[in-house]
Amino acid sequence: EVQLLESGGDLVQPGGSLRLSCAASGFTFSSYAMSWVRQAPGKGLEWVSAISGGGSNTYYTDSVKGRFTISRDNSKNTLYLQMNSLRAEDTGIYYCAKDPIYDWLPGNWFDPWGQGTLVTVSS
Amino acid sequence: QSFLTQPPSASGTPGQRVTISCSGSGSNLGSLAVNWYRQLPGTAPQLLIYSDTQRPSGVPDRFSASKSGTSASLAISGLQSEDEATYFCAAWDDSLNGRVFGGGTKLTVL
């Protein structure tokens, strides 16, 4: 069974940093692109970042470019999101999600999703 | 403001058929496939439909979807109480150069 387990969410002050992790199991992790998707409290979903299976290609939504860094350690089956210069609007549940193939391509989808980890940016 | 527009709410009675719409533009629904996700209260989203009309294994055939031009719709027949959830459409957007979601439609089973 494919499982994704996020961790690392916390309360952090504006301008602070946080690193999220997503431990994967039940599939060949290095063969699939992965993403982070967030959901502000009571709001909709927003794709944040993605990475190809080998880690050489990374993608970001405009609002996090230059502040967030996605990476993966395929030897540890773990996906990461390093978040710096955090803002109040970054508050929300962060989900990791698996893509159906190695490359992160436009027409694909997220399946499955982890249970999420809560990031709160507040003073 | 979402790139894809969904009605904020929908409702139906058990056994009824309901549809949820998703409206976009030429830079998203007009160019590539739409996917649908269901989010049960307090849980993570789950894939419901991919590539416009395809159901993953385990999703009952009560769920179906269609797309025409820059609009898509999700249909749920034989509505059940456990279908109460928020439903999101999603697609690639050429202007954002990323995947975008609709604002979500909260379905209530009366």
Q: What is the pLDDT of residues A49-92, one digit of tens each?
A: 999 999 999 999 999 999 999 999 999 999 999 999 999 999 99
Nearest by CB to A114, from B44, B50, B96: name it: B44
Q: What pLDDT, on a 0 to 100 scale, did the predictor assign at position A107?
A: 84
pLDDT of residue B30: 87
Q: What is the pLDDT of residue B82?
A: 95
Report the residue of B99, B100, B105 to disrupt the A interface, i.e. the one with the largest count of A CBs within 10 Å. Answer: B99
* Distance in angstroms between the alpha carbons of the first and the last residue of chain B: 29
Burial B27-61 (b: 16+ CB within 10 A, else e): bbbebbbbbbbbbeeeebbbbbbbebeebeeebee
**Please, which residues have CB within 8 angstroms of residue A94's CB and are 6 or more apart in sequence?**
A6, A9, A20, A36, A37, A38, A48, A81, A116, A117, A118, A119
Q: Which of A59, A95, A109 sits opposite B44 (nearest CB)?
A: A95
Please tell me the distance in Å from A100's CA to the nearest CA on chain B: 11
Backbone angles phi, psi at B57, to 5 degrees: -60, 140
Is residue A23 pLDDT above 90, yes or no? yes
Q: Which residues of chain B have pLDDT under 70?
A: 1
